Amino acid sequence: MRRVNVDVERLETPRLVLRDWRASDLEDLVAMSADPEVMRYVGGVLDRPQTWRQLALVVGHWALRGYGLWAVERKRDAALVGRVGLWNPAGWPGLEVGWTLTRHAWGQGYATEAAGAAMQWAWTELNASELVSVIHRENAASIRVAERLGLRPRREGTFKGERCTIWGIDRPGLGERTAPSGA
C-alpha cells in the first residue's frame, strides 16, 4: 500500500506534544467521539466509520491547507488526550483555533496550553492576521478557554443548526477589529 506523507510540524509545550495523526490513534479517537459529553457541542457522537471519516478529513485538511488539527499527546504517559489546532475548510468563517479533549483530560489546562501553542504557530508560521473560534453559546468550558487565550466575542452565527458565537483575536500588534475578515 502506498503511503502519502503529509508534513505536520511537531509542537511541544511543557506537558504536551502536538503531533501528526497515526492509524493507531483511531481507537482512542473512537472512544472520544462516542462520548456524548465530549461531543455535545461539536456536532454529536460519531460511530466508528464516522470517526474514521473525520480522521481522514483532518489529515486531508493538512494535505490541502498545510495546517490543521494536531493529535495532542500527554508527555508523561503518551496518552492521546484530544485534538487541537487550526481549521478552515471551505465556507468557514475564518481561520479557526479549535480544541476537543477527551473527558479524562478536562480541567487540567491542556486545551489552553495546546491552543496557545497552535496560535503562536499560526502567528509565526502562517503570518495569520486573526484567528476565530466557533463556540456554542452554552459551552461554558470552551468560552473560558477562549477568554484565557485572549479571544473576544465578535458576532453570532450558526454551526450545524445550533446558535454559536464567533470569537476572535487579532495577531498581537494589529489592534482589534469588530468582525473577522471574510465574514
Q: What is the pLDDT of residues 132-179, one digit of tens each?
A: 999 999 999 999 999 999 999 999 988 778 889 999 999 998 765 544
pLDDT digits (tens, 9 = 90+) for 2-40: 555 678 999 999 999 999 999 999 999 999 999 999 999
Residue 72 CA to residue 70 CA, distance in Å, equals 6
pLDDT (mean) for 49-75? 97
pLDDT at 158: 85
Pick the closest to residue 170 from 94, 88, 68 (CA basis): 94
Catalogue all structural domains in the chain, each as residue range(s) with its CATH number. Answer: 11-170 (3.40.630.30)
d(CA 83, CA 72): 5
Mean pLDDT score, 63-72 = 97
How remote is the C-alpha of 15 from its chain's centroid?
17
More confident residue, 103 or 4: 103
Three-state DSSP at 84 gives strand
- Asked if 115 and 95 count as a contact pair (C-beta separation under 8 A), the reply is no
The pTM of the full predicted model, rounded to 2 decimals, is 0.90
- Nearest-angstrom CA–CA distance, 75 and 65: 27
Q: For residue 52, give the 3-state DSSP assignment.
A: helix
Q: Bigger pLDDT: 78 or 173?
A: 78
Average pLDDT over residues 95-111: 98
Question: In this model, does residue 105 exceed pLDDT 80?
Answer: yes
How many CB atoms within 10 Å of residue 109?
A: 15
